[in-house]
Structure 1
Amino acid sequence: MKHFRADYVYPVYADPIKNGIVSVDDNGKILAISDDPSSIQSGNIEQLNGILCPGFVNTHCHLELSHLKDKIKAGDGLVEFIKAILTIRKEAQYNDDQVTEAARLADQEMYDNGIVAVGDIANTGITVDIKKNSKLYYHTFVETFSFLPERAQAVFDSAVELIEKFKPLSVSLTPHAPYTVSKELFKLIKRYSDSGKNLISIHNQECEDENKFYRYKLGAFNDLYDFLGLDIDYFKPQARNSLQSIIPLLTSNQEILLVHNTCTNLKDIYFIKRFDRHINWCFCPNANLYIEKRLPKINLFLDQGFNITLGTDSLASNNKLCILSEMRVIQQKFPTIGLEQLIQWGTLNGAEFLGIDKDKGSLQPGKTPGLNLITGLDNLKITPETKVKRLI
């Protein structure tokens, strides 16, 4: 049995506890939380400066892109970012061993940065063995791409085959983004999702050109389709933003994670409230700054009744895989968002979306959520000196 005492304990499911004590067994199971040292019957109490909180939950990552760290120029926008990834893949600049080793190191980096669970995007099976041997919990979203209606069935069937490679780990089939998934493919995914458990994670409104394309069929995405050699004459302007266009095509039977939301506006938020969809939001601020040099208007999403989570995106668009780093950016740009709320976004909310909140996300007796020590705070504000240390 181990006992850790800190300036504050953030159980997440309850209010912070000043001078709180967290007791755990050798397997990391929470035994008790207290503010009374006299309640400790055996064992020494380790006194720590800082706050204690559960392990972090990263709801959006691309482990298989880890080898692309520092390889794609920052700030050129989403379309150029996508072109760069596609070019690197086409030219086969990296072999499987390089991709696998980079992914393994990224998995260890997340562990060291206090992350205990990950919602990870996959387009191949190259991370299967890493995930099966990892100390982290993984849910894998097998991603589908096809903006050509005639390719929908073949792409769908291939994704279903890939899902089998990840079992018995938690895995589901998901659309990539509005601009890469045809209505026909959306319908196949919806039918699949309506028949059983199938978490959805979709990239949403990462740039203004996405909305411009859906509204008017104008902007940089036309250049992307030309780059890909795709004939999209069939697509007609929808006269509404991309999110408003695809919401009716998504299942009402599953939890849905909308990721990035860089250019989501208040009209979009109000629009989705008209539909019976289980919407969660994921913010990856460092990736937004890396790709588009802008952040979502996160203040618009507050108090709207939706679950908010945090992600790191990939090392192709971030210099580290660290949820604390994402929290730091949010608090710098939106100082009214407090530490307690950010911790909830980075722990329990993510665990609830992934369906693992019975074990992860909060410091409650019987759970094994991990235990992080956060130091270097200034009056409970995150600073450039704030660090996270994994205790269990």
Structure 2
Amino acid sequence: MKSFRADYVFPVNADPIKNGVVTVDEYGKIVSVSSYVQPGVAVEHFNGIICPGFVNSHCHVELSHLYGQTPKASGLVEFIRAVQALRKVDDDIIQQATLAADKQMYDNGIVAVGDISNSDHSVGVKKASKIYYHTFVEVFGFLPERAEGAFQAALELQRQFKPLAASVVPHAPYSVSKELFKLLKSYSDSESSNLLSMHNQECEDENKFYRYKNGKFIDLYDGFGIDISYFKPQARNSIQSVIPLLSNKQKVLLVHNTCTNLKDIYFVKRFDRNITWCFCPNANLYIEGKLPKVELFLDEGFNITLGTDSLASNDKLSILSEMQVLQQHIPSLPLNKLLEWATINGAKFLGIDDEIGTIEPGKTPGLNLLTNLDGFKLTPETQVTRLL
């Protein structure tokens, strides 16, 4: 056994412990968390705060080779065009970038990832990784006649990730037809575990598309040569239109929520759906140049998590960096709340909270050391060091 002592230990499931001590066994399993050192156990002393390993609820490691190649603050539609134009390169380049991204997340104290995949490029990296991965195999298809083919292709890709955790999920309201949503719902209703994740209201044009059938998504589909004349405006925002199409038998992660308003939140609350909201603030700033109205979600009783999105839309894969952005823009957010979003909430959504997410006996959550804080406030100089 060995012990780690710091100015404070934030177990997340309990109050912070001043001069806290975390004792682990040789496998990294928590033996005890307290304010005293067990006799005969070696102790490492640190200045700073010890907290559990981080959970990255939303990433795309297979896009890591696009680091620095997409335009910033150009809007989602232009970002989509750039990714589609740039993503196909030599497999070796994709593999090396994916491997480096996995290492970067590990070094940044991330212990579990909810990762989006549209190909099998990340299978080998995930199977060899020290990080826990749940892969969300995304399905696209806005044309009704392509629904069955797209769904079967997604099921085949899902099988390639086994025995790792994997599920089939919709990409976004603007890229999945009602027919494809129905196939997904039927599948999710019948499966014991098919966690759902969906990009939601990442830009205002998504809401314009659903409300009025205008905006930049019309040009996007024209550019791709896709005839969407069948689609009729819904006279309401995208999430209000598609939430009834999602299964109520599975947990649902709504990602980004950059343009989600209070009416949308209240609409979602009226439905029998197990919703978790995931924020990726650095990616929102990178793509749209704006942040979600996070304050609207704070007192509504939802599970909230954090993600990094991909290196195509972020300068780094760091949950600490996401917390720092939120702390900068919402100074009133307490550290214990940010740490909940960064640890246990993501673990709960992924269904692995019996192993990670909090520092308590019997768990193997990993341990991170945060340094260079201002009291209990994160600063731009705050750093994370992985202890376990």
Identify whether the pair has TM-score above 0.5, normalized to the shorter chain. Answer: yes
Aligned to 2:73: 75
Offset of residue 375 of structure 1: 0.2
Amino acid at match of 1:80: E
Any idea what SS the aligned residue of 1:74 has? Answer: coil
Aligned to 1:384: 380
Any idea what SS the aligned residue of 1:52 has? Answer: strand
Aligned to 1:36: 36
CA distance in structure 1 between the aligned counterparts of 2:43 and 2:141, rounded to whole angstroms: 56
Amino acid at match of 1:54: P
Offset of residue 36 of structure 1: 2.2
Structure 2 residue 156 is the aligned partner of structure 1 residue 161: yes
Structure 2 residue 103 is the aligned partner of structure 1 residue 108: yes
Of residues 54, 57, 73 in structure 2, which corresponds to 1:56?
54
CA distance in structure 2 between the aligned counterparts of 1:45 and 1:386, rounded to whole angstroms: 24
Aligned to 1:354: 350
Q: What does the per-residue CA deviation read over 1:205-240, in whole Å, with 9 as the maximum and x for residues that have no partner?
A: 000000011000010000110111110000000000
Aligned residues: 387
CA distance in structure 1 between the aligned counterparts of 2:386 and 2:25, rounded to whole angstroms: 16
**Percentage of pairs with the same residue:** 66
CA RMSD, 1 decimal: 0.6
Offset of residue 44 of structure 1: 2.4
Structure 2: where are the runs of 5+ without partners?
A: none
Aligned to 1:243: 239
Offset of residue 46 of structure 1: 1.4
Aligned to 1:9: 9
Aligned to 2:214: 218
Of residues 261, 269, 274 in structure 2, which corresponds to 1:273?
269
Q: What does the per-residue CA deviation read over 1:244-296, in whole Å, with 9 as the maximum and x for residues that have no partner?
A: 00000000000000000000000000001111000000000000000000000
Any idea what SS the aligned residue of 2:31 has? Answer: strand
Offset of residue 47 of structure 1: 1.3
Any idea what SS the aligned residue of 1:49 has? Answer: strand
Q: How does 1:172-251 map to 2 (within 5 A)?
A: 172-196=167-191, 197-251=193-247
Any idea what SS the aligned residue of 1:235 has? Answer: coil
Amino acid at match of 2:43: I
Amino acid at match of 2:3: H
Any idea what SS the aligned residue of 1:6 has? Answer: strand
Aligned to 2:300: 304
Q: How does 1:329-368 map to 2 (within 5 A)?
A: 329-368=325-364
Q: How does 1:132-171 map to 2 (within 5 A)?
A: 132-171=127-166
Aligned to 1:22: 22
Offset of residue 384 of structure 1: 1.2
Amino acid at match of 1:88: L
Of residues 114, 117, 120 in structure 2, which corresponds to 1:119?
114
Structure 1: where are the runs of 5+ without partners?
A: none
CA distance in structure 2 between the aligned counterparts of 1:192 and 1:351, rounded to whole angstroms: 24
CA distance in structure 1 between the aligned counterparts of 2:40 and 2:148, rounded to whole angstroms: 62
Q: What does the per-residue CA deviation read over 1:62-91, in whole Å, with 9 as the maximum and x for residues that have no partner?
A: 0000000000010100000000111124xx
Offset of residue 379 of structure 1: 1.3
Of residues 79, 86, 89 in structure 2, which corresponds to 1:88?
86
Deviation >4 Å, runs of 4+: none
Offset of residue 45 of structure 1: 1.8
CA distance in structure 2 between the aligned counterparts of 1:261 and 1:42, rounded to whole angstroms: 51
Any idea what SS the aligned residue of 2:328 has? Answer: helix
Aligned to 1:325: 321
Offset of residue 25 of structure 1: 1.2
Offset of residue 112 of structure 1: 0.1
Any idea what SS the aligned residue of 1:313 has? Answer: coil
Amino acid at match of 1:147: F
